Structure 1
Amino acid sequence: MENEAQNQTTEQFPEAGQTKKDYMLPASILISAIILAGAWVYTTGLKATNAPQKANIAGTSAKAPVSGFEDRVLPPGGVVLPVVWGDLGAKLAGAGAIDADRFKAIYIYEEKGTFTDEYKNLLLGRSNGELKITKGNAGYLLNLFWALGLANKNPILEKGEMMNPAYGGAGNFASTGGWTIAQGTAMDHYSRHKFFDLTTEQQALVDKISNGIYRPCCGNSTHFPDCNHGMAMLGLLELMASHGASERDMWKAALAVNSYWFPDTYLTIATFMKNKGVDWKDVNPQEILGIDYSSAQGYQRIASQVVKPQQQQGGGGCGV
């Protein structure tokens, strides 16, 4: 976000480190996809954690004018993330953390044939180029990052809040119980696969940043990834750290990603900041991602003080 022109096209992160056939799938897969599309929601009876767990992130009726700087918050050309995806999709599928056929079925049947060549390459191929998040693929990347965060071995999952006995086990959360397209159960893959190694310094960076990133669907940080957005953000943080991304770039990328996942939320926050005389390109990502702005309770406080911009289509819910 170095200048307005970039904000309106494609964002870059210069400080990043190194960088069937056509026959129909079985009927059981189709049925599974239909069930999954309706079931992957936060109201499936999975364990609730800190209250309030949900925010009305859609806001009020969508009759307020657009804020006028949507392109700065959600660049139409997308945002390039400081990572290389490589063959992680194929590795996730190979390990069974993603059942590739069932995963594809969701997009082929429920999303009316939107399993694009890009999606196929990210899931089954090898992508050594830039990984860019856009309005169009934000939901798909959310699901890939969700699988990565869930399955990649990390002490945050093994020793953090998810393992608190008060919650009755890590398998009772939406981020685990809601991931129903693995081979076996989600807990068969929970922190079980080592897709990359983090140095002590890189893990410390993931710990620090994950404790500071909140999401408007609940009051928890990414260090407590009890829903899909939290688990997906954890996976992204680990991936960025493994590529040697700087702390600055990780905060910046995380804000861009959260903005695409919760567009109404961050357009509202951007309106709030504009009313305070702060342009979106000048905000501090660490501050905006913190509890005072991005948690459910923080966002509700912000939203009560502004006229909400026109609603956008986006991945604000905790399902697929």
Structure 2
Amino acid sequence: MKNETQEETYDELIQGKTEKKFVDKYTLPISVVIAGVIVSMAMVYSAGISELRTQGVESSNSQNIQAALVDGGNILPLETEENILATLIDNGTISPAKLPQVTELNLLWAFGLANKNPVLENGPIMDTRYGGPTSMASVGGWSVTTGSVMDHYNKHILATLTSDQQALVERIAKGIYRPC
């Protein structure tokens, strides 16, 4: 009976350490993505959704009707993408109900990493003690970019925050930072 109790206690201790390691390892990347989503949502709300929709329509009308998907450097015609997508949905590889969520996540992720912001330039993510931004899952895990993720990291002025919004972003970024 004593051995069983000791084994149970040991198993609980190991389980607790494993959970702590998991939390310690993934807290920062998840927090950065959440902060990016919050920042992106605040910027979209502030800029006005109708203005963004109008710009998107004008932009798409001025482009070639045969839209293309860039995938790993290969350009696929929209028709090819639609055929592949239909096949993957038909055979159950992709759930059509979940596809918009993935698209939204990737759009917000790209927006958060690419938008020029002092938090990305001088914030906790730039700390060399932890390897800088390319060592963070939120940056290093970004895989749908053209070229290197650092070619776009903090490089494009997509939205400008008010001083209150910027203060909120900085407070969130500093409050959730955990080294991997």
**Structure 2-normalised TM-score?**
0.49
Question: Relative CO higher for 1 or 2, CA cutoff 8 Å, sep ≥ 6?
Answer: 2
> Higher helix share goes to which structure?
2
With structure 1 as the length reference, what TM-score do the two structures score?
Answer: 0.29
Determine which structure has more spread, i.e. the larger CA radius of gyration: 2
